[in-house]
Structure formats: C-alpha cells, structure tokens
A = this chain, B = another copy of it.
Amino acid sequence: MKTIENSNILIVGLGLIGGSYARALNKHHMIPMGEDIDEETMKYALEHHMIDSNFLSLEEKIQRADFIILGLYPSQVVPWIEHYQPYMKEGTLITDVTGVKRRITYQVEQILRKDVEFIASHPMAGKETSGILHASADLFQKANFIITPTLHSSKDSIEWMKQFALLLGCKYIEILTPEQHDEIIGFLSQLPHAIAVALMNSHEAENYIKYTGDSFRDLTRIAKVNEALWSELFISNQDYLISEIDQFIIELEKLKQDIKENRITDLKEKFQTSKAKRKLFDKI
C-alpha cells in the first residue's frame, strides 16, 4: 500500500476544514490537488500554494487520486460520491469531515462501487469562523480525531486514517461506530451549540453589552454558527440531540429547584461535582 507521502491526495471543498487539511499537508511538504466550487476560494488556494496548480478537470483529478477527502456539508457527500464515483480508479479511499455519521455512512455503503472504499472520519476541531481565509495548519494540534468504520471497512483504511490524523497533529485518535459517534457528538458538540444559540436568543442583546463579563462571552462564542451547516447537522441527528436537550433541561430544573427551596448544601454538592468533572476535560 502507498504511504500518505507518496499518494495523490484530492481535497474537495476548501473551506475551514478542507483548507486546514491542505495547510497541514503543506506543512509536511505535500501539495494536494484541490477543488472548490467557489472561484475566489480556488484562486486563494492556488495563490497561496495550498493546492497543486495543475490544470486538470475535476474528473481528471479524481482519476489520479488515491485518497479523496470530501470537505463538504453532510447533505452533499452522498450526491457527490454518486455522481463522481465512475471516475475513480480501483482502490481509491474516500473520507469526509462531517459532524454526523449514521445517515452518510449507510447511504454511501448502499451506492458505492465495490472496488473503492469509504471510511468516515471527524476531526474534533473548529472555529466560530468559516472559509479558506481562516484555514490553518495548526487547527488540529492536540485535537481529538474520530474514525467511524463499519463492518465493511478494511484494516488498511482504518490504519491509513490513523496515520493521516497523526500527520494533521491530532493527539487522541478514537474508533467509534457511527451510532456511538452521533450520540457522543449530540452531547459534546451539538448540545453546547443549541445552548449557546438559545442563551443568545433569550434576550435582546443591545441592553446587555456594557455589563457583560467573560463568562457570558465564553458561553456564547459558538452562537456565531454557520447556519447552513448547523441546521443540517442538527436535523440529521435530531433523535440523539433532542434526547440530550431533554436530559440537560432535567438537570437544569433540578438546579432550579435547589435554588428555589434554598437548598444550599445540595447546590454546593452539585458545584463540587461539576468542578471535579470539568477538571478531567482540561487539555493536557
């Protein structure tokens, strides 16, 4: 099997994540092929030598690629593969970067050619900004990286994805089923985004700006979401996300009851628990 270093890599979609993948490869002296439907993005990527400046058509790039990374929105992944797989060569490995895995993974498996392979993955890194202008080689430094193989995934492709994550700078590389991934992401990523948006929307903002401290700023930073992407993510994972929202509201209602009934000892216990738990999450 080829190593990542001597493979032809194609990144389709050069947004924040796709663009940062390109930057991370550049840092290791690799120039992938790249494609984006936005002309300005392509121009920027070429001018900054983030992608190979060959003049191949997309179909020709696909024909040459050993490894295709789809830096696309969830809804675009299956149609893209369906449309372009005729151009892939035998043995091509495809991955994505999206934050929901069940639907995509099983839909791709149903339509995919038998002589190419798709293995989904999710770099646990992001910013409250989007687009190639914010892409950075360092986005994945010490980040977590999740690979979600299925029963049909080969050992080689799992190993390949691990090597690729290490090359990006990721620290913990974890293997989950698509179901485990979506459940965990419902709690760790989607619920915090839902909370930040609801918190931000629960009052008119103008009256509060002059009085705010950093805790409010921290909690609402991710309220600056990319609405096209996150509405897709929320709806694709609605079962898990709704269950997480419900569980969180139950916990908040418990806290409210303690406050209402002056139960200072119970409050202190809840604070001690949350403090002890939170310490486990510090980046080392």
Contact = CB atoms under 8 A, between A and B. Distances in A.
Interface stretch (A41-49, A151-159, A219-227): A219-227
Given A174-B210, A195-B252, A245-B252, A215 B126 contact: yes
A16 to B, nearest CB: 13
Q: Which of A125, A143, A245 is packed against the most chain B CB atoms within 10 Å? A: A245
A238 to B, nearest CB: 5
A191 interface: yes
Given A184-B208, A277-B201, A215 B241 contact: no
- Size bracket, chain A contacts: 35 or more
A231 B267 contact: yes
B278 A223 contact: yes
A124 B212 contact: yes
A249 interface: yes
B213 A126 contact: yes
B205 A215 contact: no
A111 to B, nearest CB: 23
B228 A270 contact: no
9 contacts: A124-B211, A174-B211, A189-B213, A189-B215, A192-B199, A197-B255, A201-B251, A202-B248, A242-B256
Closest 6 CB pairs of A and B: A227-B271, A205-B277, A124-B213, A200-B274, A198-B252, A223-B274
Interface of A: 124-126, 143-144, 146, 172, 174, 176, 184-185, 187-189, 191-203, 205-228, 230-232, 234-235, 238, 241-242, 244-256, 259-260, 262, 264, 267-268, 270-275, 277-283
